[in-house]
Amino acid sequence: MGRGDIYVQPGAKDPVLSPGTVLSIAAAHTGRATTVTEVDESGGEARAYLLDGGVVIKTQRPHRLRPRTSLAKEARLLQHLAGPLEGLVPELLGYGRTAAPEGDVEYLVISRMPGRAARHTRVTGAERRELLRQAGRLLARLHAVPLAPLLTEDGLFPADQDGTALRSRLEARLADVLDVIAERAGRWTLPVPPEDAAVRALELLPAEFTPVVLHSNPGPTHVFCATDGTLTGVIDFGDSFVSHPALDLRAWPDPADRLALVAGYLDGAAPDADFEAAWTAAMIWADMAALADRPGLAEAAAADLALRLAG
């Protein structure tokens, strides 16, 4: 959760759906599920009901409902990505609302992604670097999908269309990080004040850019892989928005992972100056966040941040 998040109904009841309700929802959209095998609440805002037949029913937990997360948005984007990213994103089987004994339920019915989240695997060394390169190439394909069909009048996809909007978004995120750094004395080890680092990131942002659809957090929680590190896909598009592509390339806490990710994303091409500047701003943000929240990565983040600020 970002500090800017607001849960719109924090006191709402949060019932777990009965197997009968879950299977009734599944039956309306697919015939390949007969049993609920697990209830996964590791997503925080979402609850996922895992069924046999490779089916997942995803709901938003009522007391964790927040404006930036939308199952309707995720459904629309998965439908949009069914062709260009087939097999690398969940298959959309259904979306809707139903009146259940537990209350009004908004749901998403999708296929289960093969493999496991990268955060739960022990892929290291060359295999890890290759996984990140594959993830970078996947993000490049995501960012290349036509944007116009998503920018409809209902405003499901928040959009940064220019440098002013991009700066406003990053300024809010950096303010959150600065608050955490201020609360945790000793985490900041650089001679440059953290406020100056944040200002430098904002100064780097381009005045104009071509917006793309972003996953929002394509990091180790949402990138899936096989046991050998082979990428199987990416999940959880409920926080998607439209902005500069560099913002999707900062989601891995370790700077080395981010470097491998952008190498795959660029795939040998030289970035233009504006992309390089925005990427540097995103790296500054990510390094500051790692210094604030991840003591195990503090040394690596500080070293990378020093390089970004000196460039």
Q: In the predicted model, is pLDDT for residue 140 greater than 60? A: yes
Q: What's the mean pLDDT in 30-46?
A: 91
19-111 has CATH 3.40.1440.10 classification = no
pLDDT band of residue 4 (cuts 50, 70, 90) is low
- Cβ within 8 Å of residue 65, ≥6 positions away: 7, 8, 9, 12, 45
- Cβ within 8 Å of residue 76, ≥6 positions away: 150, 156
Beta bridge partners of 233: 224
Report the mean per-residue pLDDT for the chain: 94
**Mean pLDDT lowest for which of 5-9, 31-35, 86-90, 141-145?**
5-9
The first and second tokens of residue 87, run together, are 């097999």
Question: What is the C-alpha to C-alpha distance for residues 62 and 37, in angstroms, rounded to an integer?
Answer: 22
Structural domain spans, the chain: 19-111, 116-310
- Cβ within 8 Å of residue 284, ≥6 positions away: 197, 198, 200, 201, 204, 305, 308, 309
The pLDDT value recorded for residue 13 is 86
Residue 14: HSE in the Cβ half-sphere, 13 Å Cα cutoff: 15
Query: How many degrees, rounded to 5, is the angle at CA 273 between CA 302 and CA 217?
Result: 55
Closest CA to 139 of 48, 240, 42: 240
In the block, residue with structure tokens 């970035």: 271
The pLDDT value recorded for residue 7 is 65
Q: What's the mean pLDDT in 146-168?
A: 94
Amino acid at 201: A
In the block, residue with structure tokens 């990131």: 201
Query: 191-237 pLDDT, tens per residue?
Result: 999 999 999 999 999 999 999 999 999 999 999 999 999 999 999 99
The pLDDT value recorded for residue 1 is 39
The CA-based diameter of the chain, rounded to the nearest angstrom, is 61
Q: What's the CATH code, domain 116-310?
A: 3.90.1200
Q: In the predicted model, is pLDDT for residue 70 greater than 80? A: yes
Q: In the predicted model, is pLDDT for residue 46 greater than 80? A: yes
- Three-state DSSP at 212 gives strand
